[in-house]
């Protein structure tokens, strides 16, 4: 899930890659049944190019090096390193951090299985989860990944129109989680603690950014709710009319596809029972909460004697703020910005800037770089299988042209 509007548009735009005249015809007629979402998108070989993997790594490492050099002027980093004892306790809680990330994967895989009425096997669900997370790692904002999810699901045997419906649903569930959880967390956390971290300018900035982004999430979630549950046809007509304005017209085909899929999604979702919504939202809550608690485990690993229960709750509460702010990160996977944000935001709870940076690196290794590495290992084989499948389909459809060659 990238920044909400950009993500959903990307979901629809992904299906525009190969629709050609079909898309134009659908745009002219505005007919839902001709939505481009029913045409299988063909991934480009450059979609997962090497530079897209190396860029976030380079940005992250560059920022870390700059922060190390900056901190070296203020304190003896070698002394900070010597003060860290990697005892069995430290290793145990770092492993707990890994376990929380596995909980995140279980939550999302569980959600994928529930959305497909458990027709998707656990292995398939985990594969889709890792591919989506890898996409998130190499695209702007720190919570992206939905834009190609429908292609991943389609490759695992889910019909493309249904896959698009499912990805719009996951987008809605993620936004709904933020809308519901953030006020509850703030309600049970003193406002002067959740936003104030020492620096007045930083605290004011993060507070303003959080509320601006959260307001955008609320508006977008309301639009999704109206669009896929309450009045899909009316919302579709409104956004199509809006994008008929001259300077917005270039995006109208993608918006028509978005509107068509909102209507299709609504038909399916209205048939679902309450138990379905409870299960998929439970998977959503498990995935996000598990991701947040990685930081709690890291604090227990490095600062077990100084972090009490109240601090642990504050650490968790601030993660809700961090991930809302990271939704507008311009860097791939929030690289660079995430490390800096961690060291600044938690500076009042960590005794030294050097230790804060080390903890930030551990956090990113567990929650980010491992997915970048696993995704880079999975994607080449996935792309090979995809292109081979596309080639076989072309041969079946037009065997004569291939035999002539």
pLDDT of residue 292: 96
55 burial (CB, 10 Å; 0-12 / 13-18 / 19+) is middle
pLDDT of residue 86: 79
**111-125, 215-229, 299-313, 363-377, range with greatest mean pLDDT:** 111-125
pLDDT per position as a tens digit, 257-267:
777 877 877 78
> How would residue 290 be classed by pLDDT, with cut points 50, 70 and 90?
very high
Q: In this model, does residue 51 exceed pLDDT 50? A: yes
Match 């004011």 to its residue by tokens. Answer: 204
**Averaged pLDDT of the chain:** 78
Q: Which residue has the higher pLDDT, 143 or 164?
A: 164
pLDDT of residue 18: 36
Q: What is the mean pLDDT of residues 362-377?
A: 85
Q: In this model, does residue 59 exceed pLDDT 80? A: no
pLDDT of residue 33: 42
pLDDT per position as a tens digit, 173-200:
999 999 999 999 999 998 888 998 767 7
Q: Which residue has the higher pLDDT, 397 or 223?
A: 223
pLDDT of residue 388: 65
pLDDT of residue 95: 96
Length of the chain: 405
14 burial (CB, 10 Å; 0-12 / 13-18 / 19+) is buried
CA distance 84 to 393: 57
Q: In this model, does residue 43 exceed pLDDT 70? A: no
Q: In this model, does residue 249 exceed pLDDT 80? A: yes
> How would residue 270 be classed by pLDDT, with cut points 50, 70 and 90?
confident
The helices-and-strands tally (H runs, E runs) of the chain is 18, 0
Q: Which residue has the higher pLDDT, 146 or 165?
A: 165
Match 């800037």 to its residue by tokens. Answer: 353
CB atoms within 10 A of CB 99: 16
Structure tokens that stand for 315 in this block:
């650490």
Q: Which residue has the higher pLDDT, 397 or 319?
A: 319
Q: In this model, does residue 346 exceed pLDDT 90? A: yes
Q: Give percent above pLDDT 70 in the chain.
A: 71
pLDDT of residue 389: 65
pLDDT of residue 115: 92
CA distance 69 to 73: 7
Q: What is the mean pLDDT of residues 226-244?
A: 83
CB 138 within 8 A of CB 52: yes
Q: What is the mean pLDDT of residues 112-140?
A: 87
> How would residue 215 be classed by pLDDT, with cut points 50, 70 and 90?
very high
Q: What is the mean pLDDT of residues 239-266?
A: 81
CB 50 within 8 A of CB 292: no
> How would residue 4 be classed by pLDDT, with cut points 50, 70 and 90?
very low
pLDDT per position as a tens digit, 74-111:
666 666 666 677 789 999 999 999 999 999 999 999 99
pLDDT of residue 12: 45
Q: Which residue has the higher pLDDT, 56 or 225?
A: 225
Q: In this model, does residue 298 exceed pLDDT 90? A: yes
CB 335 within 8 A of CB 60: yes
């Amino acid at each position: 899930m990238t920044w909400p509007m950009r993500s959903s548009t990307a979901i629809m735009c992904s299906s525009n890659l190969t629709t050609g005249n079909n898309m134009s015809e659908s745009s002219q007629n505005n007919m839902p049944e001709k939505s481009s979402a029913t045409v299988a998108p063909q991934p480009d070989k450059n979609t997962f190019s090497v530079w897209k993997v190396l860029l976030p790594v380079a940005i992250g490492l560059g920022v870390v090096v700059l922060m190390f050099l900056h901190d070296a002027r203020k304190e003896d980093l070698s002394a900070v390193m010597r003060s860290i004892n990697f005892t069995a306790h430290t290793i145990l809680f770092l492993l707990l951090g890994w376990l929380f990330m596995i909980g995140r994967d279980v939550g999302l895989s569980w959600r994928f299985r529930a959305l497909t009425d458990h027709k998707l096997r656990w292995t398939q669900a985990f594969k889709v989860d890792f591919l989506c997370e890898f996409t998130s790692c190499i695209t702007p904002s720190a919570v992206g990944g939905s834009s190609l999810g429908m292609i991943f699901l389609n490759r695992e045997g889910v019909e493309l129109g249904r896959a698009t419906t499912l990805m719009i649903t996951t987008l809605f569930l993620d936004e709904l989680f933020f809308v519901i959880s953030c006020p509850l967390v703030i309600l049970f956390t003193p406002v002067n603690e959740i936003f104030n971290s020492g620096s007045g300018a930083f605290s004011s900035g993060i507070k303003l950014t959080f509320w601006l982004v959260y307001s955008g999430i609320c508006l977008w979630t309301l639009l999704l709710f109206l669009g896929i549950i309450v009045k899909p046809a009316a919302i579709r007509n409104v956004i199509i009319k809006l994008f008929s304005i001259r300077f917005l017209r270039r995006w109208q085909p993608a918006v028509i596809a978005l509107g068509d899929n909102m209507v299709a999604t609504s038909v399916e979702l209205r048939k679902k029972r309450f138990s379905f919504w409870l299960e998929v939202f439970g998977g959503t809550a498990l995935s996000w909460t598990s991701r947040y608690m990685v930081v709690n485990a890291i604090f227990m690993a490095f600062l077990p004697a100084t972090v009490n229960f109240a601090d642990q709750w504050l650490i968790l509460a601030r993660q809700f703020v961090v991930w809302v702010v990271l939704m507008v990160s311009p860097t791939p996977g929030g690289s660079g910005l995430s490390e800096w944000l961690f060291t600044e935001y938690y500076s009042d709870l960590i005794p030294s800037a050097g230790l804060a940076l080390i903890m930030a690196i551990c956090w990113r290794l567990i929650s980010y770089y491992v997915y970048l590495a696993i995704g880079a290992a999975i994607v080449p084989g996935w792309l090979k299988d995809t292109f081979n499948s596309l080639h076989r389909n072309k041969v079946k459809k037009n065997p004569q042209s291939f035999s002539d060659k």
